[in-house]
A and B are shown apart, each in its own frame.
Chain A
Amino acid sequence: MDALSGYSVPKGIDKQKLIDLYKQMWLIRFFDEKVDEFFAKGMIHGTTHLCVGQEASAAGACAVLEERDKITSTHRGHGHCIAKGADVNKMMAELFGRETGYCKGKGGSMHIADVEKGNLGANGIVGGGIPLAVGSALTSHMKKLDYVTLCFFGDGASNEGSFHEALNLASIWKLPVVFICENNQYGMSGSVKEMTNIENIADRASSYGMPGVAVDGNDIVEVMNSVDEAVTRARAGHGPTIVEAKTYRWKGHSKSDAKKYRTREEEQEWKEQDPIKRFKELLIESDVFSEEHAEQLKSEAKQMIEDSVEFAKNSPMASKDNLLEDVYA
C-alpha cells in the first residue's frame, strides 16, 4: 500500500483511515486528560488508570480489526475501549456513575465493556482477561466464526500464572488470538527490568511455540503492521502471536502515585517520543493532511470530549432501585 510515502501500511488502511486514526489518538488522550482533571476535582471517584502516552498501541492494534473481531482489555482500558469504537459519551457517563453509562454506573473505569462492539471488557484483575481472550478465540474456532480476539495486557501481567497458562492453551489449540503486551516499562512501581530477567516480554513466546515480536509501541505504523501480520496469521488458522509494543505511561499508576520509582529525565525522554506528535509529522510529511487540517482534527476531538462531559453531567444518576438487577441473567 502507498497511503504513506516511503512507509508500507496494512491493506485496507487508506488515507481516510489514517486521518481517523489521528483524530482517535487525540480522542484517547483528551479523554484521559479530562478524567485526570475531574478526578483531581473530586467529580470522578474510585480509581482510574490513564493511558496518556500509550495511544499508538491501542489505536494501532485495533485499526487492523474487522468489526466482528473482539478484544479483551485491562484496568488501563479507556484507550482500547475508544479504539474498538466505543461511544465516549457512554464512557464518561460511566465514570460519573450515571445510568446512561456503559455499565449503568455499576462498573466504573476499570470494568467498561461494550460486548456489542466486541469489547469483552476492561478488567480489574491483572492478568484476568488473558484466559478470557483464549475462550473467546475458542468460540471463534469451534463455531467457525472467523473472528480474531486481541488480548491487551501489561508487562506486569505477563508475570501472572494466568498469562502462562493461557498462552500454552492458545498455542496447543492453535486459537485465533493475538496477545498484545503494552510494555509501558512499569507494573505500578515495579520496573520491567526489576521484575523480569529477559530483554523482551515477546521472547516468552518461544516457550509456547508461537512467534513473538517486539516493536516501537510509540510508532502507530509499526504497531499496525505487526498486529496486522499476527491477525492474518490467526485468521488463517495458524495460531497465536505475541506482539509487544514498547511504550511509556506518562502519568502515575493511578491516583496518589508520587512516582518515586522513576526519574523526571526518564519521563522527559519518553515524552519526546510522543506517539501523536510522531504520527502527525509522518502524515504531514506524506501529504496526508496539512498542519491546519491536523489542528482541526485535534479540536474536533477535544470538543467531543467536552460534549461527553456535558452528556455525563446531564444524565441521571444510577438508581438504587436497580441495585440488585443484573446479578443473574
Chain B
Amino acid sequence: MREITYQEAVREAMSIEMRKNPDVFILGEDIGVYGGAFGVTRGMIEEFGSERVRNTPISESAIAGAAIGSALTGMRPILELQFSDFITIAMDQMVNQAAKLRYMYGGKGKVPMVLRTPGGSGTGAAAQHSQSLEAWMAHIPGLKVVQPSTAYDAKGLLKAAMDDENPVIFYEHKLLYQTKSQVPEKEYSIPLGKADIKREGADVTIVATSIMVHKALEAAKELAEEGIEVEVIDPRTLVPLDEETIVQSVMKTGRAVVVHEAVKRGGYGGEIASLIAESEAFDYLDAPIKRIGGLPVPIPYNPELEKAAVPSKEDIKHAVKETLQRV
C-alpha cells in the first residue's frame, strides 16, 4: 500500500467528501492559494473553487459562527483554524452556541460541522501558538473531540467526523503533518469512540494521545530490550471515549501510565486515570496509576526549554519503570 503524509491524508479525506457531497465546504484564513498555514488545503481551491474553499478575514468568532449557522441550516462546513490556540476567540460560538443549540432546542436542529485545527508544541512558535487545549473542549457536553496520531487514522477519523451530525473538534498536531503511514486510496471510516491498540504487551498499559503515541511507541521499543512488554493504547477520540478497550488492557497488565502533551493539571489524563480507578480494573492494579503531561508553564520559545516543558520518551520510560518498581 502507498504511504502518504498525515497532511495529505487530511486533504484527501476532505477532497473525497467534497467531490461527493456539494453541501461540504471549507472556510478559514488563508486556505485558498496560500493553502492554509500548514499547507493542508494546498491545491484545493484549484479543484473546488473559491465558493467552496472560502478564504475568510481574520475573524475567528465570526467564521465559527458562520460555520455553525450554516450547519444548522443544511450545509456541512469544515472550519480550519490556523492554530488551536485561536479557538479561544471562537469560544463563545463553539461552547455556548455549537455545543448547546440542539439540546436547548429540545432536539430540534443539528450542527454537523468539523473544526480542524493544529495543536501542540515543537515549532518554536512559543506560548500563544503551541498549546494543547483539548481538555477544555472535552469538558463541554455537545462537542466531540478527535486527536488522530497517524495518517491512516487521520483519514478515517476525519471521514467519520464529517459524517457526524454534531460539532466535532478535530485536533491535528503540527509535528505530525509530515509523518507518513500506509493509507488506502479508497474511502474508509474509523468510528468515533473506537480506540486503537498500537502495540500489544502484557506488563504495563500506556494510554497516549496524539504525538505522545509515537513517543510511547519509541519508549516501548526500548523497554522491550530490557524485557518490559508495554501495551500502547491510542484512544484516538476523547469524546466519545472507548472506555472498554482501556479498562480491558489495564485488567490484563495491572499497570497504567497515561500520557499527553497538554499540561498535566486539569488535563484529560486525569479523566482517563479516574476512569480506570472507577472501573473493575481497579482491583487488578498492581501499582498506582501514573499520569504524565506537560509542566504547568506556558510553552517557552527556546528549543531546549520547549522540549523540557512537555513529556519526553525518557519521562515515559521512567514512569513505566516506576509502576514496575524498577527505579
Chain A residues with a Cβ under 8 A of chain B: 45-47, 94, 97, 103, 105-108, 110-111, 123-128, 156-157, 159-162, 187-190, 194-196, 257, 260-261, 317-318, 320, 323-324, 327
Contact = CB atoms under 8 A, between A and B. Distances in A.
B157 to A, nearest CB: 27
B302 A189 contact: no
B124 interface: yes
13 contacts: A97-B304, A97-B305, A105-B300, A106-B126, A108-B124, A111-B128, A160-B60, A188-B58, A190-B56, A194-B55, A260-B33, A320-B305, A323-B297
B interface, by DSSP: helix, strand, loop or mixed? loop
Most buried by A among B59, B85, B308: B59
Nearest to A106: B300
B309 A110 contact: no
Interface of B: 29-30, 32-34, 37, 55-62, 85-86, 89, 123-129, 295-298, 300-305, 308-309
Contacts of B34: 188-189, 257, 260-261
A interface, by DSSP: helix, strand, loop or mixed? loop
Contacts of B127: 106-107, 111, 124
A46 B33 contact: no
Nearest to B298: A327
Contacts of A195: 57-58
A125 B86 contact: yes
Contacts of B300: 105-106, 318, 323
Contacts of A160: 58-60, 89
Most buried by A among B37, B89, B125, B300: B300
Contacts of B59: 159-161
A46 B58 contact: no
A125 B128 CA distance: 7
B126 A46 contact: yes
B302 A106 contact: yes
Contacts, number: 123
A196 B56 CA distance: 10
Contacts of A161: 59, 61-62, 89
Contacts of A157: 58
Contacts of A126: 58
B302 A317 contact: yes
Given A47-B123, A106-B127, 16 more contacts: A97-B303, A97-B304, A103-B301, A105-B302, A106-B301, A106-B305, A108-B125, A111-B127, A125-B86, A127-B58, A159-B57, A160-B59, A188-B37, A190-B58, A317-B304, A323-B300
Contact of B125 (A46, A187, A260, A320): A46
Contacts of A194: 55
A17 B34 CA distance: 42
Contacts of A127: 58
A320 B58 CA distance: 36
Contacts of A320: 304-305, 308
A261 B61 CA distance: 25
Contacts of A107: 126-127, 301
Contacts of A188: 29-30, 34, 37, 58
Nearest to B86: A125
A194 B54 CA distance: 12
B285 to A, nearest CB: 31
